[in-house]
Amino acid sequence: MGVPFTTVQDLYIALRSISDHSRPAYDPEILGALNFGYKETIRAIASVRSELFASFVNSFVLPANTKEIDVTMLDPPFMRPTRLMATPGSMTPILFRYRALHSQDYEDAELIQQAGTFNWMIYDVLWGRFPGVQQAIVSATAGNITVPDSSKFPFGSYITMPIPPRQILDGAAATAQPFYVDTYYGMVMGKNGNILQVYPSIPSNWTIPAGTLVTQMMRVILRIANPSQNQITGQLWYQYRPARLVNFTEIIDPLIAEHQDMLLYYALHQYLAAVNDSEASSYLQKAQLLKSELMQDIEPLSGQNSEAIDSALWGLG
């Protein structure tokens, strides 16, 4: 299809140029179909060589005797660690081995932890509502919260704060403000300096006093079962997974843009199959052929954990 697409809008135009003869295009449906193709393409690339979705961060600090490290702010988004190349180079590199919190290996590593630097660290990665950074609000108005340092609340942060009760004076009309301590939950939808633009908007008749604590509630945590007793600083290598497409102005990951044909064929299959269009199956076949071609191209570099022929995962999925 020529020059690789760079934005979701390019994919949108390409899909519509093919699908509009079949039925009218609705933007939410198209975005959903493109996400299906996007994720299928990511899965195809990662199943052959997951290292293609690798990144690193320099001067990463693994504190001594610390089991929980916040990796929410890493960009691209953190999925799982692979190794920590400590500096100076006299120390042995630290390797990470995944085990879920509830697994026997993870629990054993916690129980038999001993002194020293560990070459293997047993870890799990947790996503969810874990209370993080707290800041005292400077001021709050409808839809806007001013904090001392907005960099601690990246776009999309899930936040919470208490809504204190309002004191009603005798003879004054009641307001919609709760008479008890309630809790506000919202998302950071934008920033202007240290002003957080939040949704849902705070009603204008609610009073949020200065000093009220706002807490980040959505975090990514690297949890280690057997942390070292020594602080380790170095280059952390980790794998990332491109986030879901949300709007048409987003830039497509270059690795995925190289396989735009496969992405579009998967998306067209999903989009046309929703209305039992007879062409849906043909686009699926085209996508599967391109997936096979991709796997053959990268096969010489693949290992036992790929889906290439003779690998441990061949035939799965």
Answer whether residue 307 shows pLDDT above 70: no
What does pLDDT average to over the chain? 80
- Which are the contacts of 98, defined by CB distance < 8 A and separation ≥ 6? 80, 122, 123, 124
Residue range 210-263, pLDDT digits in tens: 888 999 988 899 999 888 888 888 889 998 888 888 888 888 888 888 888 999
Phi and psi at 135, nearest 5°, equal -140, 145
Domain spans in the chain, listed from the N-terminal domain onward: 8-50+244-301, 64-130+220-230, 135-217
Tens of pLDDT, residue by residue over 188-203, are: 888 889 999 998 888 7
Q: Which two tokens stand for residue 68?
A: 């929980």
Cβ atoms within 10 Å of 106's Cβ, excluding its own: 21
